[in-house]
Amino acid sequence: MAGSFLKALIISALIISLHAVADAGPTKTAGSRQQSCSSCHGDFSSLLPAKHPRVAGKDLKACTSCHASDTGNKAKPKPYSAKLHLSHMQPGNELDCLVCHTWRPGKSFGVRGAKKPVGVLSRENMDEMKKVFASWTASKYLDAHHGKKNVTCSGCHEKLPEPGDSVENDRCLGCHGDMEKLAGKTEPGDFPDRNPHKSHLGTINCTVCHKAHAASKTYCLECHKNFQMKIPFGETSTGAKAGGQTSGDVSRKTTEKK
């Protein structure tokens, strides 16, 4: 009887300890515990712009002492953050997030050495974030184009994005100018009423046509099947130059074919 009780006590203690480990503080991988910048970069000077001040440290604090985390998350390019992520997330050579970041699942997510966390990430959202960053780094979609322009997640989302998040028009217009300016760029020469930025629909969400993490699509074609309109980073394009005729050019093609 005593033996059975002792076994039950040991099993209970083991279960409790396993739960404690699962709910412990910042999650770390073997690589994130041991790696520092100097593990790969013996000399920072060769990685920095020619006019950059000399950097003496050998870990992330050498950068964050000047480049503090931007918790304001304004709609603007962030060259430091973008270039740092892009250079460490190339396909086949991705660095573990926790080399530079701290993470307590469901509680906080931040940059090593920073006083304030960037936000909160659950385990599910962390998995999704890694997929999104992989797309942002090397996809054929609008997200990778923004990455090349030094626009990070917070440039569009204001915060750490979560599944189901959308982007409001004011975030897009913060960089791209007001709707009237956009309409002037895309006004067709032959049929002004075919302007996707000034249509009979009035003001609609930019994301109706412009998708970040998937192929963009021209909403006008849902009804106007005979229009020949292409959109940058759509299903058949690889970027602004490959598939990005303006609406004016496309409308003229439609006229010529009739």
Task: Please indicate, yes or no, whether residues 71 and 192 belong to a single structural domain of this protein.
Answer: no
Largest CA distance in the chain: 94
Query: Do 208 and 250 fall within a single domain?
Result: yes
Q: Does 77 fall in a domain?
A: yes
pLDDT of residue 58: 76
Residue 135 inside a domain? The answer is yes
* Maximum mean pLDDT: which of 108-112, 174-178, 207-211: 207-211
Are residues 157 and 78 part of one domain? Answer: yes
> Do the domain assignments include residue 15?
no
- pLDDT value for 27: 52
Range of the domain at 240: 188-257
Mean pLDDT of 10-33: 44
Counted domains in the chain: 2
For 141-155, write each residue's pLDDT tens digit. 999 999 999 999 989
Q: What is the pLDDT of residue 3?
A: 53
Q: Are 128 and 136 in contact (CB under 8 A)?
A: no
Say what the pTM is: 0.74
Structure-model confidence comparison of residues 57 and 48, the more confident one? 48
Amino acid residing at 41: H
Average pLDDT, the chain: 78
Q: For residue 165, what pLDDT band results from cuts at 50, 70 and 90?
A: confident
**Closest Cα to residue 133, out of 204, 84, 64?**
84
List, in sequence order, every beta strand (DSSP E) within the chain: 101-104, 108-111
For residues 121 and 215, state if they share a domain: no
In a domain, 183, yes or no: no
Q: Is residue 91 part of a domain?
A: yes
Whether 55 and 152 map to the same domain: the answer is: yes
Whether residues 147 and 192 fall in one domain: no
Residue-wise pLDDT tens digits, 216-244: 999 999 999 988 788 999 986 544 443 33
4 found inside a domain: no
Angle at 179 between CA 182 and CA 152, to 5 degrees: 80
Do both 44 and 159 map to the same domain? Answer: yes
State residue 170's pLDDT score: 92
- Please check whether residues 160 and 201 belong to one and the same domain: no
Q: What is the pLDDT of residue 4?
A: 56
Instruction: Give yes or no: residues 229 and 106 share one domain.
Output: no
Q: Are residues 52 and 147 in the same domain?
A: yes
- State yes or no: pLDDT of 5 exceeds 60: no
68 or 76, which is more confident? 76
Residue 69: pLDDT band (50, 70, 90) is confident
Last residue of a domain, one of 100, 133, 165: 165
Task: Measure Cα distances from 56 to 41, 65, 77, 110, 141 in Å.
Answer: 13, 11, 27, 23, 38
Percent of the chain with pLDDT over 70: 76
What's the rounded Cα separation, in Å, for the pair 183 and 206? Answer: 13
Task: Name which residue leads in pLDDT, 8 or 194.
Answer: 194
Cα-to-chain-centroid distance, residue 2: 58
Shared-domain flag, residues 193 and 74: no
Q: Which two tokens stand for residue 136?
A: 């942002």
Residue 65 token pair: 């002492």
Per the domain annotation, does 252 fall within a domain?
yes
Which of the listed residues 165, 197, 219 is the one where a domain comes to its end? Answer: 165
pLDDT at residue 95 above 60?
yes
Contact 192, 251 (CB under 8 A): no
Average pLDDT rounded to a whole number, residues 210-221:
94
- Average pLDDT (165-191) is 90
Same domain, 71 and 143: yes
- In a domain, residue 246? The reply is yes
Q: Is the pLDDT of residue 258 over 90?
A: no
Helix, strand, or coil (residue 110):
strand
Grouping H, G, I as helix, E, B as strand and the rest as coil, residue 104 is strand
pLDDT in tens, 110-131: 988 888 888 899 999 999 999 9
